[in-house]
């Protein structure tokens, strides 16, 4: 009789769409292809999304062997399922693997003694070995596993990494997911796609480089093409490319082109989401441009993490060229392709001063779309998680619940099992009080600059006064004056308390019961707060006072005045119906556009009128605006209305009468 194998690889849903469980799929496909006795087992469809604990247990209770593919976002529910299954029947054989199964595993195995064995690193060969041996328990013969037997802990050494992966069977092409798709006809699927494996870098916060090591192995091109056709046949819109550095291999351009050709011919896939390679400037540019022009990309991620060399050295990223990143950023800006740059908060080596310098540096070098601030959390298999590394850098963490940006409370299921992460809130270089300052500073720049509340006057005054950007952020950051600046003071308090709250165990994002019942990034929450409390005009009055106070000439003051007025009018706001015509004494929009492109332009005095096109994009109630403008516009900070210069009084009159 065939033994039954069940599996669990729970992924988050994105707007009701779910990933096909790729890791489990690769294990099934490899076993069925290479096992000595593939008929020995019957494989159940994997559990791929978060169900209630009892539903999962019920689904798996008749399985003899259960595989768990674990990540930070599913480890707690995976442990609870495994524990309950073992309580039902202690003969069930429970195997854990994936990035959240620790490499140094003794404590983990002893604490969770319902786990029979951990499969470390690449799983294909190890799981096939295990399943071939089972139920014999000659486990010492199986490389890459750890287990506790008769109270003794065993850790068998890992197999060398697979250098040749072109022969690996595809879970898509071998039909592994066919049954799953058939069983769930209403599901909209997303797919993970692996074109190569390995990463030549070894960033200390990441468990990818250490898990895959430097050599990059390639999947077969023909197989990749067939997989793309499979995605097209199954109408899969979104493909997440798992490669650590897409663009690192010359053939990656061909792969991108192949995806684009298939999209053109069959209409699918729509989006190819890739991690841009770090050190191949020209190729990376060409690939990203190709994907963007072909509509397979909405914005490009530049994972800088810090621009401070000592910090980059500390996290072993100093071999990744900052200049290459900046050059890429410059070229994308020139092409008007949106990018966003990642910075990590709380990296060893980083300080408040260095962090604020990184922010300034990035904006100065042209990042006006968005800096995406990520709080650092410790992954179990990252170098950073090692005791000696933590000790050396005096890293302190706090356990906080994992919530998704713009995710809802529904993500906290009725069984009460929540996933948690270990967030870094103190290092030897950034004690907790500085971490709070950094977190708050990041939020403030998000709110003022990237969410475009005051981007226009800040960029213009920065050019005129030749200050750094931090000068302007500090101007607002320092305000603690309830009498004269009540709104700015209350925003500062809000951002401060959000940062402090994280150090006490609160989530990274702010939940709003009133606005869409979702978790908002703090900078966006600040915007909602101003509109909800009807404080937006008062905020602009205060901002105008603060910015004009630092102007040293009447010319600067007039320009600041024009820029603030224009910024206010351009912001997409709720409950707007009619177009606006704004008269300016300086050609602020042109100056702004040139500044965004990093060009110099002498501002000219004159009579300028601009039409702000609200009709096309306005007419939203508050909740619709919060969702469609603030939430959906997040990545590109698409928060300004379109505008056009009116060339003559006649044209102005025409639009006024319209």
Alpha-carbon gap, residue 557 to 609, rounded angstroms: 20
Characterize 285-313 residue by residue with b for buried, 16 or more Cβ atoms within 10 angstroms of its Cβ, and e for exposed. bbbbbbbbebebbebbbbbbbbbbeebbe
As beta bridge partners, residue 301 has 340
Cβ closest to ligand SF4, residue 203 vs residue 614? 203
Count of residues of this chain found to bind ligand SF4 when the rule CB under 6 A is applied: 8
**Minimum CB distance to ligand SF4, residue 125 (Å):** 22
Secondary structure element (H or E) that encloses residue 422, with its range: strand 420-426
Does position 559 bind ligand SF4 by CB under 6 A? no
Closest residue by Cα to residue 20 from 168, 227, 226, 160:
227
CB contact set of 48 (below 8 Å; sequence gap of 6+): 9, 10, 11, 18, 19, 20, 21, 180
Pick from 12, 112, 202, 321 the residue near ligand SF4 by CB under 6 A: 202
Does position 199 bind ligand SF4 by CB under 6 A? yes
Does position 438 bind ligand SF4 by CB under 6 A? no
**Minimum CB distance to ligand SF4, residue 247 (Å):** 12
Residue 549, Cβ neighbours under 10 Å: how many? 10
CB contact set of 457 (below 8 Å; sequence gap of 6+): 543, 547, 560, 563, 564, 567
CA angle 364, 369, 370 (to 5 degrees): 90
As beta bridge partners, residue 300 has 339
Residue 153, Cβ neighbours under 10 Å: how many? 13
- Please identify, among the stretches 177-185, 204-212, 392-400, 563-571, the one whose residues bind ligand SF4 according to the rule CB under 6 A: 204-212
Does position 206 bind ligand SF4 by CB under 6 A? yes
**Minimum CB distance to ligand SF4, residue 301 (Å):** 11
Alpha-carbon gap, residue 629 to 618, rounded angstroms: 10
- Please identify, among the stretches 29-37, 101-109, 197-205, 359-367, the one whose residues bind ligand SF4 according to the rule CB under 6 A: 197-205
Characterize 196-216 residue by residue with b for buried, 16 or more Cβ atoms within 10 angstroms of its Cβ, and e for exposed. bbbbbbbbbbbbbbbbbeeeb
Residue nearest to ligand SF4 (CB): 209
Does position 343 bind ligand SF4 by CB under 6 A? no
Residue 243, Cβ neighbours under 10 Å: how many? 23
Alpha-carbon gap, residue 491 to 496, rounded angstroms: 8
Does position 201 bind ligand SF4 by CB under 6 A? yes
Cβ closest to ligand SF4, residue 60 vs residue 244? 244
**Minimum CB distance to ligand SF4, residue 314 (Å):** 14
Site for ligand SF4, residues 236 to 255, rule: CB under 6 A? 244
Cβ closest to ligand SF4, residue 101 vs residue 379? 379
Does position 203 bind ligand SF4 by CB under 6 A? yes
Closest residue by Cα to residue 501 from 360, 401, 636:
401
**Minimum CB distance to ligand SF4, residue 579 (Å):** 46
- Please identify, among the stretches 54-62, 195-203, 442-450, 455-463, the one whose residues bind ligand SF4 according to the rule CB under 6 A: 195-203
**Minimum CB distance to ligand SF4, residue 303 (Å):** 7
Q: Which two tokens stand for residue 505?
A: 């165990």
**Minimum CB distance to ligand SF4, residue 6 (Å):** 30
Cβ closest to ligand SF4, residue 119 vs residue 203? 203
- Please identify, among the stretches 206-214, 344-352, 431-439, 562-570, the one whose residues bind ligand SF4 according to the rule CB under 6 A: 206-214
Does position 589 bind ligand SF4 by CB under 6 A? no
Interacting residue ranges for ligand SF4, rule: CB under 6 A: 199, 201-203, 206, 208-209, 244
């Amino acid at each position: 009789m065939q033994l039954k194998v069940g599996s669990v690889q729970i992924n988050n849903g994105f707007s009701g769409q779910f990933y096909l469980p790729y890791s489990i799929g690769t294990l099934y496909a490899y076993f069925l292809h290479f096992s000595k006795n593939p008929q020995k087992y019957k494989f159940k469809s994997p559990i791929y999304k978060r169900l209630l604990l009892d539903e999962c247990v019920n689904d798996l209770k008749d399985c003899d062997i259960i595989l768990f593919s674990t990540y930070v976002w599913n480890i707690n529910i995976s442990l609870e399922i495994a524990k309950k299954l073992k309580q039902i029947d202690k003969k069930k054989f429970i195997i854990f693997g994936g990035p959240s199964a620790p490499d140094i595993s003794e404590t983990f195995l002893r604490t969770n003694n319902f786990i029979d064995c951990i499969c470390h690193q690449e799983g294909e060969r190890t799981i096939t070995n295990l399943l071939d041996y089972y139920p014999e328990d000659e486990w010492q013969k199986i490389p890459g596993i750890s287990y506790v037997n008769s109270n003794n802990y065993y850790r068998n050494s890992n197999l060398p990494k697979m250098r040749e992966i072109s022969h690996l069977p595809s879970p898509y092409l071998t039909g592994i997911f066919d049954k799953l798709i058939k069983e769930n006809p209403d599901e909209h699927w997303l797919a993970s796609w692996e074109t190569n494996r390995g990463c030549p870098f070894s960033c200390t916060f990441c468990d990818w480089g250490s898990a895959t090591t430097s050599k990059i192995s390639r999947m077969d091109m023909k197989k990749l093409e067939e997989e793309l056709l499979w995605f097209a046949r199954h109408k899969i819109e979104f493909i997440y490319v798992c490669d650590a550095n897409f663009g690192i291999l010359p053939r990656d351009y061909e792969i991108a082109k192949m995806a684009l050709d298939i999209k053109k011919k069959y209409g699918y896939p729509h989006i190819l989401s890739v991690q841009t390679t770090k050190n191949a400037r020209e190729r990376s540019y060409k690939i990203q441009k190709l994907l963007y022009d072909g509509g397979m990309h909405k914005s490009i991620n530049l994972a800088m993490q810090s621009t401070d060399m000592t910090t980059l050295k500390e996290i072993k990223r100093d071999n990744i060229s900052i200049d290459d990143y900046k050059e890429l950023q410059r070229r994308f800006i020139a092409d008007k392709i949106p990018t966003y740059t990642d910075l990590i908060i709380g990296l060893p080596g980083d300080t408040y001063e260095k962090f604020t310098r990184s922010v300034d540096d990035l904006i100065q070098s042209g990042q006006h779309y968005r800096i995406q601030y990520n709080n650092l959390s410790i992954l179990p298999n990252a170098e950073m998680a090692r005791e000696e590394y933590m000790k050396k850098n005096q890293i302190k963490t706090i356990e906080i619940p994992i919530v998704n940006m713009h995710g809802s409370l529904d993500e906290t299921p009725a069984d009460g099992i929540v996933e948690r992460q270990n967030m870094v809130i103190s290092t030897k270089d950034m004690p907790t009080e500085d971490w709070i300052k950094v977190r708050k500073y990041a939020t403030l720049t998000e709110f003022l600059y990237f969410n475009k509340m005051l981007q226009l006057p800040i960029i213009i005054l920065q050019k005129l006064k030749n200050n750094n950007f931090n000068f302007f952020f500090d101007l607002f950051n320092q305000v603690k004056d309830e009498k004269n600046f009540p709104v700015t003071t209350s925003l500062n308090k809000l951002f401060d308390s959000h940062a402090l709250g994280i150090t006490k165990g609160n989530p990274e994002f702010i939940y709003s019961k009133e606005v869409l019942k979702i978790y908002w990034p703090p900078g966006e929450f600040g915007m909602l707060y101003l509109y909800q409390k009807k404080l937006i005009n008062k905020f602009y009055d205060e901002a105008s006072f603060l910015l004009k106070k630092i102007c040293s000439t009447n010319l600067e003051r007039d320009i600041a005045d024009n820029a603030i007025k224009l910024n206010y009018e351009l912001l997409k706001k709720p409950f707007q119906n009619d177009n606006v015509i704004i008269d300016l004494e300086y050609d602020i929009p042109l100056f702004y556009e040139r500044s965004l492109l990093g060009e110099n332009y002498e501002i000219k005095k004159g009579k300028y009128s601009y039409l702000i096109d609200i009709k096309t994009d306005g007419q939203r109630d508050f909740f619709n605006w919060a969702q469609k403008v603030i939430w959906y516009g997040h990545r590109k900070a698409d928060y300004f209305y379109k505008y056009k210069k009116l060339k003559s009084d006649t044209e102005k009159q025409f639009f006024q009468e319209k």
